[in-house]
Amino acid sequence: MVSPVLALLCIWHDSGDLHGPLNTQGTAGHKRPKGKRIARWILDIWTYEFTLLHRKGKNNLDADALGRMEIQNNITHIASQTALTVEELIKAQRNDPELQQIINTGIIEYPYILMEGVLCVVIYLIIPTVWRQAFLKRIHEYSTSGHLGRDKTLARAKDNGFWVVMNADVKNYVSKCVECQKLNCKAQKYKNLQSIQVGAPRDRWAADIAYLPTTKGGRRYLLVMMEYLTKWVITVPLVSAAAYAIENALTFEIILEFGNPKELLTDNDTNFISETVNIT
């Protein structure tokens, strides 16, 4: 019978969430795992004898590469999101002034990497400036995209590419999308109604124009005026709703009858805020 050989297992990690639940020798720590995912990790490795070692994330790229191997091997698919071939994408990146500062140094450092000659951020394809509008059009407007909102469009863009000012560009693109502006109605927030202090009689009047069927005399407008305290209503039929007609009605029906009011409340229609009415 051959005795089993016990090999010491070293686990390198860059997650601070493993420090509390596990000690460096793999024994239980003083903290509970944060979330179900960390708990599952611990259960998976609990049956082994291991030493837990921490390594900074920027130095733990081998594990990151293994975890994202499927995406790394699919650079052609990611490049297709920009309607480019890999060769065209490489050429566009080399000609991009923004990316030349990174590529021309000769040393690609974290978080940048080269995959099949294409400059990426760890696993993300860096979209050159000249192709960003086409990229966003595919992400946001194509039949399979559905004109998603800003946050969902940004999340989808981040799944397929990267550039420094992506957040601002996505926000700007979605806000200027013609179809979105036609169909999306933002809910308006209205302030609570406020009580109006009435004051003395004849101090405050309200006025508005009602549009009615044209009479035989050609009158199709009705100027409605109400005194706030007494609720006294005066109506004046008008042929025209022009400022001069409103001025005449205010002068003869209110000012000459009850005196000049301290305040006239209207809906700020151009007929009421014209210079002619304000002078009156």
Domain boundaries, the chain: 9-55, 71-183, 204-279
Is residue 3 very low, low, confident or very high in pLDDT (cuts 50, 70, 90)? very low
Mean per-residue pLDDT of the chain: 75
Assign a CATH topology to domain 204-279. Nucleotidyltransferase; domain 5 (3.30.420)
Residue-wise pLDDT tens digits, 134-146: 888 888 887 667 7
Q: Does 270 or 217 have the greater pLDDT score?
A: 217
Per-residue model confidence (pLDDT) at position 225: 92
Q: Does domain 71-183 have CATH number 2.50.20?
A: no
C-alpha span between 56 and 17 (Å, rounded): 13
Whether residue 33 is preceded by a cis peptide bond, meaning omega within 30 degrees of 0, is no
Residue-wise pLDDT tens digits, 35-91: 666 666 666 666 666 677 776 665 655 555 444 444 444 566 655 655 667 788 888
Q: pTM of the entire structure?
A: 0.33
Mean pLDDT value of segment 9-34: 59
C-alpha span between 93 and 62 (Å, rounded): 25
Edge-to-edge order in the sheet of strand 263-265: 233-238, 221-227, 204-211, 263-265
Min mean pLDDT across 20-34, 98-112, 230-244 is at: 20-34
C-alpha span between 148 and 174 (Å, rounded): 9
